[in-house]
Structure 1
Amino acid sequence: MNIKFVFLSMLLMLQASVFAQELLSPEKAVVLALKNNYGIKLAHTDVEIANNNAGILNSGYLPTLNGNAGATYNSNNTEAEFSDGRVTTLKGAESSRYNASVDLNYVLFDGLGRAYNYKQLKETQQLTGLQARETIENTILQLFTVYYNVAELTKNIDALTETLAISKDRLIRSQYQFDYGQSTKLAVLNAEVDINNDSINLMNSKQQLQNYKRDLNLVLGNTILGDFDVHTQVSFNTLYSRSELLEKTKVNNINLLQIDKNIAINTLGVKFQKSNYLPTVGLTGSYGWNKSNNNAASFVAVSTNTGFSGGLNLSWNLFDGGSTITRVKNAKINLEAQNIQKEQLVVSVERDFSNAWDDYQNKLRIFKLQEENINTSQNNFDRTLEKFKLGQVNSIEFRQAQLNLLNAELSRNRAKYLAKLAEFYLLQLSGELLNINF
């Protein structure tokens, strides 16, 4: 009774662990990656810094306000001679001075350099956002590369498990045939060798599956604590229009958007350097308090001053040895270089799109052929199995049919997930990767 109870408890625990194993869907994987991936988190911090830099507090448009205070103490030996001939000698004559002020400085005009710099910060803010989007796109592509590696190995393990079961059944049949004198010991030995090979392949695949699951969990920010499974089914969109995707690529490709932002930043950089040709006009203001305690040799014993002061100042760098001229020339050259890089990038992106489109279509066709090959290999195996049971084919021919079916299944699994990844890469080039339902 106790043995039955223990066995039942173990069975219930095993079932509970099986049902508790998490099924990680593509949608959930994307959500976890967007929230927990370390690369994406770092990209968000860059965006926050760019937002701070583009704020009004970093624009240079606000005035500066400084508080100043000071105190001075003197102890002197003084000899004072007055106009009537009297002479007064003071030893250790003490005097002190105190001051405090609040000073305001504000640039009224700086040749528009401040305005161009502020616009550059805004463009840099948008560029950082595009760089964060690129990080997210690359992470999503990396995520599904590992996700489909897990899915592929999961399907491969199913095929290898089935192959091992067939090999074990073949060993039993071969042993019966040998026992009844219908076969030689060689058939039994061949079956045992094939079982060992199938077991090794299955063990290696299971180990590789665990490795890929750890890789996937790393992309997800190591958020999954236990074991998990993934969805192995995928669907393909075969209704894409090549011309429409190409137009979207020219408009939304992340690399093209970034080069456009860099061109805008460099355009403003030229204007910023030219602003140094113009004068700078500033406003100064101060509210101060000063108090002096003078020694006995002074006509005024104590004096206190309180009040406002203000003024305008103008500075104009008429000639700085040619440094401004050089900076303007270099800024123009940098802008020209950016335009050349854009021309080169446009050609490269169009080439990459054509390659990606053809690669996707080719992988879809390969997948369909592998699907057809599965049917052919399955029919061939089924017929060979029937003949093997009737003793019309030997173990070598049966094993070959078995391996043909296994290789067809493994090739089909590989082709399916490669085609899906090719689709994702095509969508990334066209800027549509983050606009689809996973």
Structure 2
Amino acid sequence: MMNKTVYLLVILFLMPFLAVGQNSAELSLSEAINKALDENHSIIISRNLTEIDENSATLGNAGYLPNLSLNSSYQESIEDSRLEFANQQGQDVEGSRSNQFNASLDLEWVLFDGFGNRYRLQSLERSRDLSEVQSRAEIEATLLEVIERYLEVSTQAQLLDVTREAVEISNERYLRAKENFEAGGGSRVDVLNAEVSLNQDSVRVVETEVNLNRAKRNLQVLLGDNPSGEVTVQQEFELDQQLSLDDLLLKSASNNASLRSAAIELEQAKLQLQETQSGRYPQISTNASYNYNRLESDAGQFLFRETDGFNAGITFSFPIFDGFRRNISVQNDKIRVKNSEEQRRLTEKEIESALLNAYETYNSNLYLLEKQQLNVETAELNFERTELAFEQGQVSNTDFREAQLNLLETRQNLISQRVEAKLSEIELLQISGQILNRVSENN
């Protein structure tokens, strides 16, 4: 059992030195966010989809511009022909050839459609705006995940340092118990207890190392990197403890992506209603074309014919009765407008509720963080005194181990609580629509 303990200790204490050559410069949180903005695959896809909607918001798609097309055809035939004319004369032609060529340049233009093209253009522009807002929401959600994974890596790295320190303490305790036993001043039970504690702490180091590597791979995927690579993050990060509820509520009303989406969808519903109603008005369109025709034939009344010229016209149409389909569409669009209004009101209340809950959690986490810092200070002082008493033989192995475990637990709790406080801060920034703005301010 002792050989296994020594072997495990060698591995644990060599790991940080073996990893030194692989570690790159520490990646700050702002650097991780910027890297995700540039290289995260989901963000790139979202931006590409937004570009598609932006390209679609044009005058041509709205029906403002005319359609101009060039058409042409060519036909050739070989036929046996028998022709009889009015003067009783006839003509037989075998294998007569004929060819015909037609070409035209056609223009069609809707001059008036009840202002439907105006509403279609506005609807396309709202679709573009909605796509931008939805893309921003997806980017914010991705950045939130990046921050969570970054903090997870930072947490596991700090926990690894704490657990390695616990191993060092347990190893010193084990060596001291072993020396006392060999000198005749201690019992075999003390050595075994110290060895069990050392093994427990060593296992905890290995488990934390596995969690750290898993967290790093998850972060690297979000950063667009190869998950088999290496990344090192900073263990220290700043907390904003001065967030104001009134300021957050004000900014969420104007910046929250869900609220902006609900407002744009309401505008779209109203534009769809207006476009449907525009179908009740007359439509005026014009058309013009230039035509060229050429015919060559070995038989027939005309051996050669060629024509060309312009023609133009104007069309007026007015819907009189369509089986009430237009009325039904208008009624349905009015219902969609009402639903969009209700959805916007519901979203406003949900966002306000989420913000109030997140702000309460934020304040609670800051309070708990302060208490956890005091707990660590108390646990450190208690451990120092217990360690000194243990060296003087005034406390038992059990008391020393209990003080050590209390210190380990309070340090772990402090690390976790600090991350929780940061996550609650980030959640408030996301709800109020400030994540991207904060990124821009920090660069």
The answer to which of 219-228 and 172-181 deviates more is 219-228
Matched-pair contact (CA < 8 Å) for 2:23–2:231: no
Report 1:26-425 matches (<5 A): 26-72=29-75, 73=77, 75=79, 77-83=81-87, 86-92=88-94, 95-222=98-225, 226-293=229-296, 297-298=300-301, 300-425=302-427
Residues 82 and 338 of structure 1, relative CA distance in 2, 3 Å threshold: same
3-state SS of paired residue (1:373): helix
Matched-pair contact (CA < 8 Å) for 1:388–1:395: yes
Matched-pair contact (CA < 8 Å) for 1:52–1:58: no
The answer to which of 315-324 and 260-269 deviates more is 315-324
The answer to which of 322-331 and 135-144 deviates more is 322-331
Residues 70 and 388 of structure 1, relative CA distance in 2, 3 Å threshold: same
Q: CA deviation at 1:71?
A: 3.6
Matched-pair contact (CA < 8 Å) for 1:78–1:297: no
Residues 67 and 181 of structure 1, relative CA distance in 2, 3 Å threshold: same
Q: CA deviation at 1:98?
A: 2.6
Q: CA deviation at 1:436?
A: 1.6
Cα distance between partner residues in 2 of 1:17 and 1:268:
61
Matched-pair contact (CA < 8 Å) for 1:22–1:227: no
The answer to which of 313-322 and 205-214 deviates more is 313-322
The answer to which of 124-133 and 314-323 deviates more is 314-323
Residues 188 and 296 of structure 1, relative CA distance in 2, 3 Å threshold: closer
Matched-pair contact (CA < 8 Å) for 2:218–2:227: no
Cα distance between partner residues in 1 of 2:319 and 2:423:
59
Residues 96 and 233 of structure 1, relative CA distance in 2, 3 Å threshold: closer
Q: CA deviation at 1:69?
A: 1.9
Matched-pair contact (CA < 8 Å) for 1:105–1:283: yes
Q: Which amino acid aligns with 1:262?
A: E
User: CA-to-partner distance for each residue in 1:35-90, whole Å, 9 max, x for gaps?
Assistant: 1111101101111101111133433222112222234447353342435xx33243
Partner of 1:5: none
Matched-pair contact (CA < 8 Å) for 1:134–1:254: yes
Cα distance between partner residues in 2 of 1:258 and 1:80:
76
The answer to which of 314-323 and 335-344 deviates more is 314-323
Q: Which amino acid aligns with 2:167?
A: L
Matched-pair contact (CA < 8 Å) for 2:130–2:264: yes
3-state SS of paired residue (2:289): strand
TM-score, normalised with respect to structure 1:
0.92
User: CA-to-partner distance for each residue in 1:207-259, whole Å, 9 max, x for gaps?
Assistant: 11000000000110115874232111122222222112111112211100010
Q: Which amino acid aligns with 2:355?
A: F
Q: CA deviation at 1:296?
A: 5.3
> Structure 1: which 5+ runs fail to align?
1-10
3-state SS of paired residue (1:150): helix
Residues 16 and 169 of structure 1, relative CA distance in 2, 3 Å threshold: closer
Matched-pair contact (CA < 8 Å) for 2:27–2:234: yes
Identity %: 30
Cα distance between partner residues in 2 of 1:107 and 1:141:
49
Cα distance between partner residues in 2 of 1:225 and 1:22:
17
User: CA-to-partner distance for each residue in 1:374-408, whole Å, 9 max, x for gaps?
Assistant: 00000110110011001111101100000000000
Partner of 1:4: none
Cα distance between partner residues in 2 of 1:405 and 1:20:
29
Q: Which amino acid aligns with 1:132?
A: S
User: CA-to-partner distance for each residue in 1:117-160, whole Å, 9 max, x for gaps?
Assistant: 11111111011111111111111110111111111111111111
Cα distance between partner residues in 2 of 1:27 and 1:90:
91
Residues 235 and 79 of structure 1, relative CA distance in 2, 3 Å threshold: closer
Matched-pair contact (CA < 8 Å) for 2:82–2:92: yes
Matched-pair contact (CA < 8 Å) for 2:73–2:103: yes
Cα distance between partner residues in 2 of 1:48 and 1:304:
49
The answer to which of 424-433 and 404-413 deviates more is 424-433
Cα distance between partner residues in 2 of 1:15 and 1:387:
37
Matched-pair contact (CA < 8 Å) for 1:374–1:408: yes
Matched-pair contact (CA < 8 Å) for 2:220–2:231: no
Matched-pair contact (CA < 8 Å) for 1:25–1:231: yes
3-state SS of paired residue (2:68): strand
Cα distance between partner residues in 2 of 1:410 and 1:339:
48
3-state SS of paired residue (1:238): coil
TM-score, normalised with respect to structure 2:
0.91
Matched-pair contact (CA < 8 Å) for 1:292–1:302: yes
Q: Which amino acid aligns with 2:104?
A: S
Residues 209 and 49 of structure 1, relative CA distance in 2, 3 Å threshold: same
